[in-house]
Amino acid sequence: MRILFITATRLGDAVLSTGVLGALLAAHPGARVTVAGGPVAASLFADVPGLDEFIPMPKQKRGGHWFSLWKRVVGRRWDRVIDLRGSLIGYCLRAGRVQRWGTPGTHGHRVEQLAACFGFDPIPAPRLWIGEESRQAVQTWLKPDHRPLLVLGPTANFIGKQWPLERFAELARALIQPGGALAGARVLLVGAPAERPAADPLFAALPEAEDGFALGDLRRVGAVLEAARLYIGNDSGLMHLAAAAGVPTLGLFGPSPPDLYGPWSGLGPTASVATDRPYPAHWERLKQDPGFVEHMMDDLPVARALAAAENLLARGR
pLDDT 10s digits, 196-218: 999 999 999 999 999 999 898 99
- pLDDT confidence of residue 106: 65
Q: Does domain 134-315 have CATH number 3.40.50.2000?
A: yes
Written as one string, the DSSP assignment of 52-70 is EEEEE----GGGHHHHHHH
Return the closest-CA partner of residue 276 out of 249, 248, 250, 295. Answer: 295
What separation, in Å, do the N-terminal and C-terminal C-alpha atoms of the chain show? 37
Q: Is the pLDDT of residue 33 over 70?
A: yes
Q: What integer pLDDT is reported at residue 103 of this predicted model?
A: 67
Render pLDDT for 231-257 as a digit per residue (tens, 0 to 9): 999 999 999 999 999 999 999 999 999
Percent of the chain with pLDDT over 90: 91
CATH 3.40.50.2000: which residues of the chain? Answer: 2-118, 134-315
Alpha-carbon span 237 to 303, nearest angstrom: 25
3-state secondary structure of 48: coil
- Taking alpha carbons only, the member of 126, 146, 142, 145 closest to residue 134 is 142
Are 17 and 7 within 8 A, CB to CB? Answer: yes
pTM score above 0.85: yes
Supply the pLDDT for residue 23. 97
CA distances to 26, 48, 51, 129 from 124, in Å: 11, 16, 19, 15
Residue 243 three-state SS = helix
| Residue 104 confidence (pLDDT) | 59
| Whole-number average pLDDT of the chain | 95
How far apart CA 302 and CA 306 sit, in angstroms, is 6
Q: What is the mean pLDDT of residues 310-315?
A: 95
Q: Which tens digits make up the pLDDT trace of 166-175?
A: 999 999 999 9
pLDDT exceeds 80 at position 317: no
User: What would the pLDDT profile of 126-146 be if each residue is shown by its tens digit?
Assistant: 999 999 999 998 987 787 788
pLDDT per residue as tens digits for the range 100-126: 998 656 679 999 999 999 999 999 999
DSSP sequence for 254-311: SSS-HHHHSPP-SSS-EEEEE-SS-HHHHHHHHHH-GGGGGGTTTTS-HHHHHHHHHH
* Per-residue pLDDT tens digits for 251-286: 999 999 999 999 999 888 999 999 999 989 999 999
Distance separating alpha carbons of residues 65 and 222, to the nearest angstrom:
28
User: CATH topology for 2-118?
Assistant: Rossmann fold (3.40.50)
pLDDT at 54: 98
> CA-to-CA distance for 15 and 22, rounded, in angstroms?
11
